[in-house]
A and B are shown apart, each in its own frame.
Chain A
Amino acid sequence: MTKDKYNRFLLLLGIGILVVFLVSVFIGRYPSPPGMLPGTLLKDRLAQQLVLNLRLPRLLVAFLLGMILSAAGSVLQMIFRNPLIEPGFLGVSQGAAFGAAVSILWLGNHPLVIELSATFFGLLALAASYYLSTRIRYGGWVLRLILSGVAVSALFSSGVGVLKYIADPLTELPEITFWLLGGLYSVTWRDLLFVLPFALVGIVVVYVMRWRVNLLSLNDDTAFSLGASLTRERLIILVTIVAAAAAITAISGVISWVGLIVPHISRRIFGASAEKSIPAAMLLGGGFTMIADDLARTLLAGEIPLGILTSAIGAGLFIYLMISMSFKVRRDA
Chain B
Amino acid sequence: MHNILSLDGIHFSYSEEGPVVLADLSLNIPAGKVTAILGPNGTGKTTMLHIMLGLLKPFQGCVAVAGKPHKYYSKRELSQMIGLVPQFESIPFNFSVIEYVLLGRSPYLNPFQLPGELDLEITENALKEAGISHLAEKPVTEISGGERQLVHISRVLTQQTKILLLDEPTAHLDLENQNRILSLLKRMAAQGVTSVITTHDPNAAIFAADHFVLMNKGNIAAEGGVEDVITTENLSLIYRTPIRVEKTNGYTMVVMDKMEEYG
Report which A residues bind B (CB closer than 8 A).
Answer: 78, 81-83, 208-209, 211-212, 214-215, 217-222, 224-229, 233, 267, 271-273, 275, 328, 330-333
Q: Are the CB atoms of A221 and B103 closer together than 8 Å?
A: no
Q: How far is the CB of B97 from chain A (nearest CB, A)?
A: 11
Other A-B contacts than A227-B80, A273-B99, 5 sampled, CB-CB below 8 A, are A83-B93, A211-B113, A217-B93, A226-B106, A272-B96
Q: Are the CB atoms of B75 and A229 closer together than 8 Å?
A: yes
**Residue from B83, B84, B106 in contact with A228 in the complex, judged by beta carbons closer than 8 Å:** B106
Which B residues are in CB contact (< 8 Å) with A330?
Answer: 92-94, 141
Q: Are the CB atoms of B112 and A209 closer together than 8 Å?
A: yes
Q: How far is the CB of B156 from chain A (nearest CB, A)?
A: 8
Q: Are the CB atoms of A227 and B90 closer together than 8 Å?
A: no
Q: How far is the CB of B240 from chain A (nearest CB, A)?
A: 29
Q: How far is the CA of A208 from the CA of B112 in the complex (A)?
A: 5
**Residue from B50, B107, B148 in contact with A226 in the complex, judged by beta carbons closer than 8 Å:** B107
Q: Does B135 contact A (CB under 8 A)?
A: no
Which A residues are in CB contact (< 8 Å) with B86?
Answer: 219, 221-222
Q: How far is the CB of A211 from chain B (nearest CB, A)?
A: 5
Interface bits B107-144 vs A (CB < 8 Å: 1, else 0): 10101111100000000000000000000000111000
By beta carbon, the residue of chain B nearest A225 is B84
Most B CB atoms within 10 A — which of A222, A225, A233, A273?
A225
Could you tell me how many residues of chain B have their Cβ less than 8 Å away from some Cβ of chain A?
Answer: 39
Most A CB atoms within 10 A — which of B91, B111, B139, B141?
B111
Q: Does B55 contact A (CB under 8 A)?
A: yes
Report which B residues bind A (CB closer than 8 A).
Answer: 50, 53-55, 75-76, 78-80, 82-84, 86, 88-96, 99, 103-104, 106-107, 109, 111-115, 139-141, 148, 159, 165
Q: How far is the CA of A328 from the CA of B142 in the complex (A)?
A: 11
**Residue from A78, A212, A225, A271 in contact with B55 in the complex, judged by beta carbons closer than 8 Å:** A225
Closest 4 CB pairs of A and B: A227-B79, A225-B84, A272-B93, A227-B107
Which B residues are in CB contact (< 8 Å) with A328?
Answer: 94, 141
**Residue from A211, A221, A272 in contact with B115 in the complex, judged by beta carbons closer than 8 Å:** A211
Q: How far is the CA of A222 from the CA of B86 in the complex (A)?
A: 7
Q: Are the CB atoms of A214 and B95 closer together than 8 Å?
A: yes
By beta carbon, the residue of chain B nearest A212 is B111
Which A residues are in CB contact (< 8 Å) with B109?
Answer: 211
Q: How far is the CA of A228 from the CA of B89 in the complex (A)?
A: 16
Which A residues are in CB contact (< 8 Å) with B94?
Answer: 267, 271-272, 328, 330
Q: Are the CB atoms of B99 and A272 closer together than 8 Å?
A: yes
Which B residues are in CB contact (< 8 Å) with A83?
Answer: 93
Q: Are the CB atoms of B84 and A271 closer together than 8 Å?
A: no
Q: How far is the CA of A212 from the CA of B112 in the complex (A)?
A: 7
Known: A81-B92, A272-B94. A221 touches B84 (CB 8 A): yes
Q: Are the CB atoms of A226 and B95 closer together than 8 Å?
A: no
Which B residues are in CB contact (< 8 Å) with A208?
Answer: 112
Q: How far is the CA of A275 from the CA of B95 in the complex (A)?
A: 11
**Residue from B90, B95, B159, B165 in contact with A273 in the complex, judged by beta carbons closer than 8 Å:** B95
Q: How far is the CA of A92 from the CA of B76 in the complex (A)?
A: 34
Q: Are the CB atoms of A226 and B114 closer together than 8 Å?
A: no
Q: Are the CB atoms of A227 and B141 closer together than 8 Å?
A: no
- How many residue pairs link A and B with beta carbons under 8 A? The number is 103
Which B residues are in CB contact (< 8 Å) with A273?
Answer: 95-96, 99
Q: How far is the CB of A139 from chain B (nearest CB, A)?
A: 15
Q: How far is the CA of A242 from the CA of B72 in the complex (A)?
A: 35
Known: A219-B90, A221-B55. A226 touches B141 (CB 8 A): no
Q: How far is the CB of B198 from chain A (nearest CB, A)?
A: 14
Most A CB atoms within 10 A — which of B79, B93, B106, B113?
B93
Q: How far is the CB of A219 from chain B (nearest CB, A)?
A: 6
Which A residues are in CB contact (< 8 Å) with B78?
Answer: 227
Q: How far is the CA of A272 from the CA of B141 in the complex (A)?
A: 11
Q: Are the CB atoms of A224 and B93 closer together than 8 Å?
A: no
Q: Are the CB atoms of B55 and A214 closer together than 8 Å?
A: no
Report 21 cross-chain contacts, Cβ distance below 8 Å, ordered by A residue: A81-B92, A209-B111, A211-B109, A211-B113, A215-B106, A218-B91, A221-B53, A222-B86, A224-B53, A224-B54, A224-B55, A224-B75, A226-B107, A227-B75, A267-B94, A271-B94, A272-B95, A272-B96, A273-B95, A273-B99, A333-B90
Which B residues are in CB contact (< 8 Å) with A81?
Answer: 90, 92
Which B residues are in CB contact (< 8 Å) with A225?
Answer: 53, 55, 79, 82-84, 159, 165
Q: How far is the CB of A154 from chain B (nearest CB, A)?
A: 26
Which A residues are in CB contact (< 8 Å) with B80?
Answer: 227
By beta carbon, the residue of chain A nearest B50 is A221
**Residue from A78, A227, A267, A333 in contact with B76 in the complex, judged by beta carbons closer than 8 Å:** A227
Most B CB atoms within 10 A — which of A211, A212, A330, A333?
A333
Q: How far is the CB of B244 from chain A (nearest CB, A)?
A: 36
Q: How far is the CA of A327 from the CA of B95 in the complex (A)?
A: 14
Q: Are the CB atoms of A333 and B148 closer together than 8 Å?
A: yes
Which B residues are in CB contact (< 8 Å) with A226?
Answer: 79, 103-104, 106-107, 159
Q: Are the CB atoms of B91 and A333 closer together than 8 Å?
A: yes
Q: How far is the CA of A267 from the CA of B96 in the complex (A)?
A: 12
Q: How far is the CA of A183 from the CA of B78 in the complex (A)?
A: 50
Which A residues are in CB contact (< 8 Å) with B95?
Answer: 214, 271-273
Q: Are the CB atoms of A215 and B103 closer together than 8 Å?
A: yes
Q: How far is the CA of A78 from the CA of B78 in the complex (A)?
A: 25
By beta carbon, the residue of chain A nearest B87 is A221
Q: How far is the CA of A218 from the CA of B94 in the complex (A)?
A: 12
